[in-house]
Amino acid sequence: MTDSANEGSLPLRLRIADKWIMYLILGVTCLVFLFPLINAFQASIQVGGLMNYWTVLTRDYNGVSIPLTFLNSGIIAAMHAAIVCVVGSLAGYAFSRIPFVGRTATYYLVLIFLAVPATAILVPVYHITSSMQLFNSYLGVAMPEATLTLPFAVLLLKNQIDAMPVSLMEAAVMDRAGHFRIYFHVVLPLLRGPLVSLAALSIMWSLQDFLFPATLLRDVSLTTAAQAVQTIKGAFGPTAYENSLYYAALMLLAVPALIIIVGGFKYISRGMTNGSIKE
Amino acid sequence: MSTETTLRRVGQVPGRATSVARPARRRKRGPQLKSLLIACVFLAPLAVFYGIYYFYGFGFLAQVSTEQVSLSFLSAVNVGWDNFRLVLTDSIFQRSLLNNLALAAFSVFVALTLGFLVAMMLASGLRARRLIYTVVLLPSLIPLSLFATVFGRMLDTRDGAINELLRNVGLGFMAQDWIVNEPSAYAALGILLTFMIGLPVIYYTADLGQVNGSILEAATLDGASVWQIFRLILFPVLRNTHTTVIIAAVLGSFRAFDIVFFSTGGQPGGRTGIIGTYIYSSALGSDRVGFAAAASIIVLVIALSLSLVQLIFGRKNK
């Protein structure tokens, strides 16, 4: 497993001027990249100050309360992560360690679905969710989200199991341990790191998802944070104060995602690196 | 600890098949069948999700694409290939497809220039590179609905941050109604896409680890500047990463629904829309679900073929 925020850097000898040019380019890039965030924060306290955050946090907008959206997003994200980790690790084990007929073909069939965009399955997901009577349920959103993540999960976890030392498996086989025992007692403990990465990524992707919550959750009390961006828009009037409140709400809605990104940054970037398709 | 049950699971260990007395054919096939069965158990949960949302889903798409029907999916009228004909000749769909490609091309351009450069500089042993890396990745990791909304409001004519910035630095004549004019709406989307270089930066950074350091040392001894090393050595050396980045950008353009939906919303008049927004508005806005299904199938054919090509290509490379 390679660390993506590379510890070791390239063996280059930088002249002072080169160094300054680099700092200049990167500094400007950072400023530009932070500009929307800074701008939104400024706008959020322009009229009413930091109190705006408290106001927004304690009020309902079009029936949506922001702390509740955190809870909804959190539950869906946790379900998504759980499904992906369990289903993905079982499948990854099969593709890595069980030599069965048609393994390569099946594996590639599974991977092709990496390319499926969420909008392309919107119509069937709507129909399937209604047939299974899963409208307005967390699971109804978490399952299609997880299905879109599964090809990536299988790719990532199969690669990781492939990379495990064969000697460990051999020892287990010598002990005449079956596949289920090897999976539970040898592979899963070693897979902890990659599973944390995968869970962090799944949670992040779930927090990003607007499409499925927006189409499958009509009950306002189930609104997720990403969905609320649209739902609460109409509740703010055209005054400067209301505008500041709206920005405060937007900033708050970003908080769960920011926590998972900053807190799990190492795992997220590592997961993305190891899940790139080449290996 | 060993029991008969575990004894029977040793399919993958040659020569350990259960009994010597059995005929050769069965001895070979028994463990094979056993492996297949166990594999089926391990793969069953995956098969359920794939079966419902992909295989059944695609079948359903195929059926709906030949129907005129609303989202209740009741009282469908069979219209044969009409949806495909109408979608393919719909000027808004054609424009969406072109926009999709333009979006992909622009992302590739930004990734191969700015993304590449940022990744190289971050690997040059500067201070605070971890912080910079996080800042550069941030816009691609936070929910796009939020980022694009904030960005969309920055484009506001009257008090949007971009127009105010332009006025403050004396470029007030450039301040304009960003979304209403087609060129400036495209420009706005372009700027927004420039923020999304996180994934390419991750890929380049990761693959730099495999670059042979001695080439770089030799080049430095020969008097090459860092910029020459970036351009003349590292850019060609990382060509496999370029391929990954390009394919990711093209596939990403089909997923860019949120970017467009929350910034320009396809304005003016659906002309900055992409296939994602086309499907969304056909299905939920105008209740032309048959159109949405036909458009979905077109996207899926393109995306899955690309994916297949990448897998075959990637396998050959190994």
The more confident residue out of B52 and B160 is: B52
Contact A229 B46 (CB under 8 A): no
The three-class DSSP label of residue A145 is helix
Residue B28's pLDDT band (boundaries 50, 70, 90)? low
Stretch A253-272: mean pLDDT, rounded?
A: 89
Integer angstrom CA distances of residue A62 from A165, B150, B171, B231: 55, 20, 39, 54
Of chain A residues 109-148, which have a CB less than 8 A from chain B? 110-128, 130, 143-144, 146-147
CA–CA–CA angle A27, A29, A33 (5° rounding): 120
Name the pTM for this structure.
0.88
What pLDDT shows up at residue B29?
65
Of the segments A46-50, A89-93, B87-91, B287-291, which one has the largest average pLDDT value? A89-93
Average pLDDT of chain B? Answer: 83
pLDDT tens column, A85-115: 999 999 999 999 999 999 999 999 999 999 9
DSSP B49-117: HIIIIIIIHHHHHHHHTTEE--TT--S-EE-TTHHHHHHHH-HHHHHHHHHHHHHHHHHHHHIIIIIHH
Tokens coding A217: 């959750």
pLDDT tens column, B198-220: 989 999 998 888 888 888 889 98
Contacting residues of A for B73, CB less than 8 Å apart: 127, 130
Contact between residue B118 and residue B203 where contact means Cβ atoms under 8 Å apart? no
Residue A1's pLDDT band (boundaries 50, 70, 90)? very low
The whole-angstrom separation of Cα A57 and Cα A61 is 10
Contact between residue B104 and residue B250 where contact means Cβ atoms under 8 Å apart? yes
Give yes or no for B237 touching A (CB within 8 A).
no
Whether pLDDT at A277 is above 70 = no
Give yes or no for B126 touching A (CB within 8 A).
yes
Contact B9 A178 (CB under 8 A): yes
Contact A122 B125 (CB under 8 A): no
The whole-angstrom separation of Cα A224 and Cα A67 is 10
Residue B168's pLDDT band (boundaries 50, 70, 90)? confident
What pLDDT shows up at residue A276?
64
Whether pLDDT at B17 is above 60 = no
Integer angstrom CA distances of residue B169 from A29, A35, A177, B156, B165: 19, 16, 72, 18, 6
Question: Which residue of chain B is at minimal alpha-carbon distance from A109?
Answer: B308
Question: Which residue of chain A is at minimal alpha-carbon distance from B132?
Answer: A30
Whether pLDDT at A3 is above 80 = no
Whether pLDDT at B179 is above 60 = yes
Contact between residue A153 and residue B98 where contact means Cβ atoms under 8 Å apart? no
Stretch among B9-23, B121-135, B142-156, B257-271 having the lowest mean pLDDT: B9-23
ipTM of the complex: 0.91
Stretch B130-148: mean pLDDT, rounded?
A: 90
Contacting residues of A for B310, CB less than 8 Å apart: 277
Nearest neighbour of B255 by CB, restricted to A37, A117, A229: A117
Contact B45 A230 (CB under 8 A): no
Task: Calculate how close chain B gets to A213, using CA atoms only, in Å.
Answer: 12
Contact A179 B38 (CB under 8 A): yes
Select the residue from B142, B155, B237, B289 to test the A interface by mutation, using most A Cβ atoms within 10 A: B142
Amino acid identity at B183: P
What pLDDT shows up at residue B152?
81
Q: How many CA atoms lie within 13 Å of B60's alpha carbon, on the beta-carbon side?
A: 23
The three-class DSSP label of residue B209 is coil
Give yes or no for A189 touching B (CB within 8 A).
no
Integer angstrom CA distances of residue B46 from A102, A143, A261: 16, 12, 28
Give yes or no for B190 touching A (CB within 8 A).
no
Residue A107 CA from chain centroid, whole number: 23
Integer angstrom CA distances of residue B187 from A28, B142, B182: 20, 22, 9
The more confident residue out of B21 and B191 is: B191
The three-class DSSP label of residue A259 is helix
What pLDDT shows up at residue B206?
86
What pLDDT shows up at residue B41?
96
Task: Calculate how close chain A gets to B196, using CA atoms only, in Å.
Answer: 10
What pLDDT shows up at residue B19?
40
pLDDT tens column, A151-209: 999 999 999 999 888 887 777 777 777 899 999 999 999 999 999 999 999 999 999 99
Residues near B250 by beta carbon (within 8 Å), at least 6 away in sequence: B104, B108, B306
Residue A127 CA from chain centroid, whole number: 25
